[in-house]
């Protein structure tokens, strides 16, 4: 069974590391996390992702840039923008 490939992008390195560990604990998911846009774009071009998860610290300009680059290269990519409490 093919794993769902998730690219998670946020600004807090500790949160992103914990989130990646949490997601990779699910045997059906494989996540890669990064804290900067340029690295995210490089990673995106190297692998096929099904989902891009943007964590709530992503600035509006970064969101627009990433959305534009990713959807241009893969119109079927699913974007999830997490906004809210991440204390759990």
Question: Helices 37-46 and 60-73 meet at what angle, rounded to 10?
Answer: 10
Q: Residues 10-29: pLDDT tens digits?
A: 999 999 999 999 999 999 99
Q: Residues 40-58: pLDDT tens digits?
A: 999 999 999 999 999 878 8
The pair of structure tokens assigned to 63 is 């969101």
Q: Is the full-model pTM beyond 0.85?
A: yes
Q: How far apart are CA 28 and CA 88, in angstroms?
A: 21
Q: How far apart are CA 79 and CA 87, in angstroms?
A: 22
């Amino acid at each position: 069974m093919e794993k769902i490939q998730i690219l998670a992008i946020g600004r807090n390195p500790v949160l992103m590391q914990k989130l990646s560990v949490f997601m990779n604990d699910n045997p059906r998911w494989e996540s890669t996390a990064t804290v900067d846009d340029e690295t995210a774009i490089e990673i995106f071009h190297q692998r096929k992702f099904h989902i891009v998860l943007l964590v709530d610290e992503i600035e509006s300009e970064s969101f627009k840039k990433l959305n534009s680059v990713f959807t241009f290269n893969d119109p079927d990519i699913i974007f999830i923008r997490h906004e809210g409490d991440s204390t759990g």
